[in-house]
A = this chain, B = another copy of it.
């Protein structure tokens, strides 16, 4: 079994109001030194009965067709063996 760990982040040029809200809340808590916060999505996909290469290809397809908006978001992933 393999597991894909996917992180989807907003492209740097895209405004992130949710991140701004978190940065503001951090300041309200009295935590100093925070320059910026960017929010994204973390997705874990478990595959069964696929080879590592097939899992890589399936993950790429899932990211492109389903999870990431290519205009606004970047994605990166690793596929690892799952015990």
- Residues of A that sit less than 8 Å from B by CB: 1, 7-9, 19, 22, 25-26, 29, 31-50, 54-55, 58, 61-62, 65-67
Residues A22 and B67 in contact, CB atoms below 8 Å apart:
yes
Which residue from B29, B41, B46, B58 sits with its C-beta under 8 Å from A41? B41
Copies, count: 2
Residues A29 and B65 in contact, CB atoms below 8 Å apart:
yes
What's the least CB distance linking A74 to chain B, in Å? 11
Interface SS, A side: mixed
6 more A-B residue pairs beyond the given contacts A22-B66, A37-B43, A39-B42, with a C-beta to C-beta distance below 8 A: A32-B50, A34-B45, A36-B46, A38-B44, A40-B41, A40-B44
